[in-house]
Chain A
Amino acid sequence: MALENGEKSGSSFVAVRKPNDCTILLLRVVAFLATLAATLVMALNKETKTLVVATIGTTPIKATLTAKFQHTPANVFFVIANAMASLHNLLMIIVQLCGGKFKDKGLRLVMMAILDMMTVALLSSGDGAATFMAHLAKKGNSHARWNKICDKFGKFCDHGGGAIIASYIGLLLLVVITVLSIIKLLKAK
């Protein structure tokens, strides 16, 4: 823990430099881009494939199967959670850039910390659900006789995986932002 700027309160733990507004703003912009990318990639995730289902005589019977993201409620929740997280990030960026004229700085900091925490919770639950559904789609579950579907719909799985990774990056940045906001609150007291 760096003892810069001579900021040392009663305990030796919180002897860190006060987080800059610029750092938090930059992190928020990157987190906004990450969650926006995750929302868009998952929402536009669709793959159609024509599979041979059976063969009667010499003519194969083809069936067209589509894999869409809304077939799984976990993916729908993922899209909604990421959309709300990017909306929250956008709102916070606007508030930080244009909110200089509001006088009650203390209430604003507390509201931002609480809202940040709630968004982190929503985002983490959306990520967790989508990750385990993707794992189920990729590996299947032999105990429950659930077959894997990623070998047939490779592009669908790849896009979904990319969206989940982008969402995790956004989640990590949002957790860092939340911790920085709380530290800023602690220093402001």
Chain B
Amino acid sequence: MITSWRIFTFLLRLLALAATLVATIVMVTSHDSTNVLNLTFKAKFSNSPAFKYFVVVEAIACAYNLVIMFLASKGSLWRLVIILDVVVAVLLASSVSSALAIAYVGKKGNTHAGWLPICGQVPKFCKHVTAALVAGFIAAILYFLLVIYTLYTVLHPLFVVSKS
């Protein structure tokens, strides 16, 4: 039996799947190179471990979403799905935050440590990374909405929800 809970969670999962997919792909295809005083300055996402971590976590979340969306018809696994959803949501938050911290140093620099901003030299790379971070942020928010909605609707004792 299809209830409104299942429709809403399916929609949220679909949106989160799209957001994580976009974030992964945009981050992986971000690269730029420029010539400064006869030196070629290449910028790729793999230059920074924070961006690599971001790509890995978004890919894991995407694959998990895909698997769960097509496996959700089995009613007995919904408890495991809730707990795994919490873990994936926490991982997504961590990855977005790490990539944002490094991107902030890339954009504004850090005068105290003597780190110069690099966005002036590789603007295309910076724009790609910004777009990927926005998509990752939206994915994290959608995941949290999903978990909070599931916790509130399914586990609140005043609500009567059929879980079949």
Contact = CB atoms under 8 A, between A and B. Distances in A.
A64 interface: no
Interface in A66-88: 67-68, 71-74, 77
Contacts of B79: 11, 13-14, 186
A71 B43 contact: no
Classify the secondary structure of A's interface with B. helix
B157 A106 contact: yes
Contacts of B43: 143-144
Contacts of B95: 128
A126 B97 contact: yes
Contacts of A135: 49-50
Contact of A114 (B80, B90, B152): B152
B69 interface: no
B28 interface: no
A110 interface: yes
B118 interface: yes
Contacts of B102: 132-133, 136
A121 B110 contact: no
Classify the secondary structure of B's interface with A. helix
Contact of A11 (B76, B100, B112, B114): B76
A37 B79 CA distance: 34
A61 interface: no
Contacts of A35: none
A143 B151 contact: no
A178 interface: yes
B115 interface: yes
A185 interface: yes
A107 interface: yes
B29 interface: no
Contact of A125 (B86, B96, B152, B157): B96
Contacts of B89: 117, 121
Interface string B129-158: 000000000000000100110011001111
A128 B76 contact: no
B105 A129 contact: no
Nearest to A14: B79
Interface stretch (A25-33, A52-60, A92-100, A145-153): A145-153
A137 B112 CA distance: 12
Given A120-B90, A132-B49, A132-B101, A186 B110 contact: no
B93 interface: yes
10 contacts: A13-B80, A106-B156, A107-B158, A110-B156, A114-B148, A121-B90, A129-B98, A133-B102, A135-B50, A147-B115
Interface of B: 42-43, 47-50, 53, 76-77, 79-80, 82-83, 86-87, 89-91, 93-98, 100-102, 104-106, 110, 112-116, 118, 144, 147-148, 151-152, 155-158
Interface of A: 10-14, 67-68, 71-74, 77, 106-107, 109-110, 113-114, 117-118, 120-122, 124-133, 135-137, 141, 143-147, 149, 175, 178-179, 182, 185-186, 188-189
